[in-house]
Structure 1
Amino acid sequence: MKHIPNLEIKKMAMGGFGIAYAEGKAIFVPYTAVGDVVDIDITIEKKDYAYGKVTKYISYSDSRVEVQCPSFAAEIPCGGCDWLMLKYSEQLKQKNQLLLELFSPFIDKDVIYFPAPSPQIKHYRNKVFMPVGKNYQTGKITYGMFARFSHQIVEHNTCENHPPIFDQLANSLMEFCLKAKVEPYNEIEHKGQLRHIGFRCNSDGRQILVILVTLSGKLPFTNLLVKKLTTEFPQIKGIIQNINRQKENVILGKETKLLYGSENLYDNLCGLKFRINYRSFWQINTGTMEMIISFLQDFVNSNNVILDAYCGIGAIGLSLADKVKRVILLEEFPQAIEDAKENAVLNGLKNVSFVIGKVEDNLSAVLIKEKPDTIIMDPPRSGVQQNALEAIIQAEVKQIIYLSCAPMTLARDLNTLIAGEKYKVVFLQPFDMFPNTWHIECLAVLKHNDYNINMR
């Protein structure tokens, strides 16, 4: 293995890597900061670039802070946090730089704003799923997060990103599993009982869902488990056994057993009440999501007809409903639409209609029928398919609002939307949905050339 000493980290890259330069190559080094000087071993080498692993820190950047999490500082670090070692101001600075490098070649720099900081920097996650395994040295069941680019579980006791009560719940579950001789899942042999443990809470922490993902319907002593957890944690609103029989990386399976209470909890967003199923998409940082909704209100008015594509349970569209003339919610999953309908009723919203189906298959017909002024899209990480983007361009929707957790796919899709020069990006505001990681949420607003928008 090639060893390179005394390298200085010059900049950061997408994926959370630090970049150094040697032998005419960019060398990507995880868990490093700009200004660090390190010795590294090359782990992967290609013609024009390489990946390396730190063997020794010669000196540390001034942008670093001391990390309290033992899993981050482990010999094989947890893959959940890339930038836990950076001052928060430095995290925002580096995210801003990455986005400028990505978007400024085709978007006016004046409309690319500095990332809005998260209202909560630590313990902000309202949902987590963690794989379960066995420590073969101690024989104990363990849980944690996967190491970067692997399925090796890095054991956890505490986490800087999710609420401390999730750690308490996890430790209580491990105590039970040890006594009940629950076997953790072995993904190589496709054997064992418990695959993942998951927790979801509402904003004030008064409602918690516990999810146990198992390989089969068998899970011993579930009545005792329910009694133990609900006695220790009265905040628990539901305990769910999700059954995933497949040999795959997808966490949740199609089968559900309700062991206690409800599959749903209720949370508040911008003054509205939402029913959230344990499977439902709901932004993990509620404080940042409320900031996004607040920004969106500046781009709609009482005359607008809005199409909320990829609407999920209606978080965005319903939050704007009382500001606009009418909202159409489009969503692929029937259960999510049912939840959206329930959430509309919960909040007394009557200017809302619903369409079930894939965005890519239904968007063109909905645009022709409903003629919305504005389309809002919050797609999965893979972005929006080409045919859907073409349908928007052809329909000449006046305003496009695109919320994305994946800057690379957002850049790809924005390039498609502006290629014919019918649309222009007038606003790109990043929001820090994911502190202590390199990930960033971006809100892009595009307008048709014939449409004027009142800017913030």
Structure 2
Amino acid sequence: MARKRLRKKTFSETPIKITIESLAHDGRGVGHVDGKVIFIDEALPGEEVEFVYTDSRKDYAEGKVVKLLSRAADRVDALCPHYGVCGGCSFQHVESSAQIRIKQELLAEQFKRIGKVDLPELWEPLKGPHWGYRRKARMGVKYVAKKNRALVGFRERRHPYLAEIDNCIVMHPMVGTKMVALGEMIAELTIRDKIPQIEVAIGDEQCVLSFRVLEPPTDADKERMRAFGHEHNLSLCLQPKGPDTIVPLDGEPEVIPTYALPDLDLEFKFRPAMFTQVNYEINRQMINRVLETLKLTKDDTVLDLFCGLGNFTLPLAKFAGKVVGVEGDQPLVNHAKENARHNGITNAEFYAADLSKDLDDQPWAKQKFTKIMMDPSRAGAADVLQHFKKWQPEQIIYVSCNPSTLARDAGILVNELGYKLVKAGVMDMFPQTGHVESIALFEK
């Protein structure tokens, strides 16, 4: 049976005037037309704009600005010439300090609306570099035969196509300035149309680029890649299947990226596809804030949930009597143990466990913990919070990359488990984007 072709939606190209009333959680402007809510890219509260529709659903519609009729005080001209086409950034039209203020206001609003919790005190935002900060990324690759060119970078905004960009000023310059050179090298390979993506992993000094390859490269391909890596001081690897298949080119040494916390005399090793924070300056400040807040002593037994490769666990172990790190991914747990050995940390234990499941049969979960640190994924930590009834920690520090799920979980901690939200604030982990990284302190 022939497949039914989906009909592409068409919209009127006639611009419509609208006044922007507020911002959505992802940074888009919000207004109404005939009672229907419209989310509009690159529009700021108080502005009057003309827009065209890009999508329309039953309960809402989406659009893009075609003309500014009035300009908000927070608006600036984007530095990147690809802004608006490339989907990597969504906030370059907002002045840097205003980006932080907007995110702080969003966090407080989410606590109140979703968690039904008032925020008594705001932490001073953690600030870092606004450009060239990103050290982890997954870049798309697309060979365009008609142009004999390989595009390298990120998807277009709200489209599946790869944006045609020549550099990225948000990426660390070690990679952000080499988009064109990478594309030119790939276009010379026999497998140029068999490379869908590149995993970027930049340490303090090392950079590993892992090329996902759908077919094995020829010896000549490998030599071209090897020469490119040597010329640009990059370690190029091949990834034929999943993340655990990443290997260096034949004859090349395996480069293990590292990042350090100099104040704590700690160094972390990580594999290219493993999760690490993208912004090292903010990560260091974030860890220091956690340590300053918890005021750990050797009498403390700390639980670090969603511990990853030990980013918080090892710093906590420097001051606490004992720290237990728990993570759902076994390879990450193995690497956390390796990082503990590498740094001479002997008072940290690591366990692999699915934190969305019942934990009663887990030996580590039968302990008491004076304090708990957690840094979950965007889905939050709702499933594990019921176990806090048994652990009864005095303090909880919650680091979040999603203010909506943080607010939901704050509602559980405050309204169901008897904790008080003491303080919260944002950390500028992702400048020029709508992503909000935040931290909150709860006390019994």
Normalised by the size of structure 2, how large is the TM-score? 0.89
User: 1:34 is matched with which residue?
Assistant: 45
User: 2:294 is matched with which residue?
Assistant: 299
Which residue identity does 1:307 align to in structure 2?
A: L
Q: Return the offset for 1:4.
A: 5.0
Partners in 2 of 1:181 and 1:60 — Cα distance? 50
User: 2:438 is matched with which residue?
Assistant: 442
Partners in 1 of 2:218 and 2:315 — Cα distance? 40
**Pairing 1:374–2:399 present:** no
**Which sections of structure 1, spanning at least 5 residues, go unmatched?**
185-192, 245-251, 449-456
Among 161, 170, 187, the residue aligned to 2:170: 161
SS of equivalent residue, structure 1 residue 359: coil
Partners in 2 of 1:293 and 1:19 — Cα distance? 35
Structure 1 residues 273, 368: closer, same or farther in 2, change over 3 A? closer
- Is the 2:53–2:62 contact (alpha carbons within 8 Å) kept by the matching residues of 1? yes
User: 1:242 is matched with which residue?
Assistant: 239
Partners in 2 of 1:322 and 1:100 — Cα distance? 32
Which residue identity does 2:142 align to in structure 1?
A: G
User: 1:265 is matched with which residue?
Assistant: 257
SS of equivalent residue, structure 1 residue 92: helix
Partners in 2 of 1:177 and 1:158 — Cα distance? 16
RMSD, matched Cα:
2.2
User: 2:133 is matched with which residue?
Assistant: 124
Among 380, 398, 405, the residue aligned to 1:402: 398
Q: Return the offset for 1:311.
A: 0.9
Partners in 2 of 1:334 and 1:44 — Cα distance? 41
Structure 1 residues 279, 198: closer, same or farther in 2, change over 3 A? closer
- Is the 1:393–1:417 contact (alpha carbons within 8 Å) kept by the matching residues of 2? no
Partners in 1 of 2:302 and 2:214 — Cα distance? 42
User: 2:142 is matched with which residue?
Assistant: 133
Q: Return the offset for 1:315.
A: 0.7
- Is the 2:168–2:177 contact (alpha carbons within 8 Å) kept by the matching residues of 1? no
**Which sections of structure 2, spanning at least 5 residues, go unmatched?**
1-10
User: 2:121 is matched with which residue?
Assistant: 111
User: 1:249 is matched with which residue?
Assistant: none
Partners in 2 of 1:397 and 1:358 — Cα distance? 21
User: 1:248 is matched with which residue?
Assistant: none
User: 2:196 is matched with which residue?
Assistant: 195
Structure-to-structure mapping, 1:302-317, within 5 angstroms: 302=297, 303-317=299-313
User: 2:5 is matched with which residue?
Assistant: none
**Pairing 1:172–2:196 present:** no
Structure 1 residues 220, 155: closer, same or farther in 2, change over 3 A? farther
Q: Return the offset for 1:368.
A: 4.2
Q: Return the offset for 1:92.
A: 1.3
Structure 1 runs of 4+ with >6 Å offset: none
Structure-to-structure mapping, 1:215-230, within 5 angstroms: 215-218=214-217, 221-230=220-229
- Is the 1:373–1:399 contact (alpha carbons within 8 Å) kept by the matching residues of 2? yes
Partners in 2 of 1:398 and 1:222 — Cα distance? 58
Overall identity of the aligned pairs, in %: 27
Among 316, 319, 341, the residue aligned to 1:320: 316
Query: Which range is displaced more, 160-169 or 326-335?
Result: 160-169
Q: Deviations over 1:143-198 (max 9, x none)?
A: 121123331111221112112220344333322222223333xxxxxxxx101123
Q: Return the offset for 1:220.
A: 5.7
Query: Which range is displaced more, 223-232 or 143-152?
Result: 223-232
Partners in 1 of 2:328 and 2:119 — Cα distance? 35
Among 28, 51, 66, the residue aligned to 1:55: 66
- Is the 1:317–1:327 contact (alpha carbons within 8 Å) kept by the matching residues of 2? yes
Partners in 2 of 1:326 and 1:243 — Cα distance? 40
Q: Return the offset for 1:55.
A: 2.5
- Is the 2:139–2:200 contact (alpha carbons within 8 Å) kept by the matching residues of 1? no
Partners in 1 of 2:171 and 2:218 — Cα distance? 26
Among 404, 424, 433, the residue aligned to 2:420: 424
Q: Return the offset for 1:124.
A: 0.6
SS of equivalent residue, structure 1 residue 173: helix
Q: Return the offset for 1:215.
A: 2.1
Q: Return the offset for 1:373.
A: 1.1
Which residue identity does 2:274 align to in structure 1?
A: S
Q: Return the offset for 1:79.
A: 1.2
SS of equivalent residue, structure 1 residue 86: coil
User: 1:451 is matched with which residue?
Assistant: none
User: 1:5 is matched with which residue?
Assistant: 16
Query: Which range is displaced more, 372-381 or 162-171?
Result: 162-171
**Pairing 1:359–2:355 present:** yes
Q: Return the offset for 1:418.
A: 2.4
Q: Return the offset for 1:400.
A: 2.0
Partners in 2 of 1:141 and 1:400 — Cα distance? 48
Partners in 2 of 1:85 and 1:46 — Cα distance? 27
Structure 1 residues 337, 263: closer, same or farther in 2, change over 3 A? farther
Among 75, 79, 82, the residue aligned to 1:64: 75
Say which structure is richer in strand. 1
Structure 1 residues 295, 363: closer, same or farther in 2, change over 3 A? farther
Q: Deviations over 1:206-246 (max 9, x none)?
A: 21111111224446634313431232123x3x3221124xx
Which residue identity does 1:199 align to in structure 2?
A: V
Structure 1 residues 25, 220: closer, same or farther in 2, change over 3 A? farther
Partners in 2 of 1:392 and 1:168 — Cα distance? 47
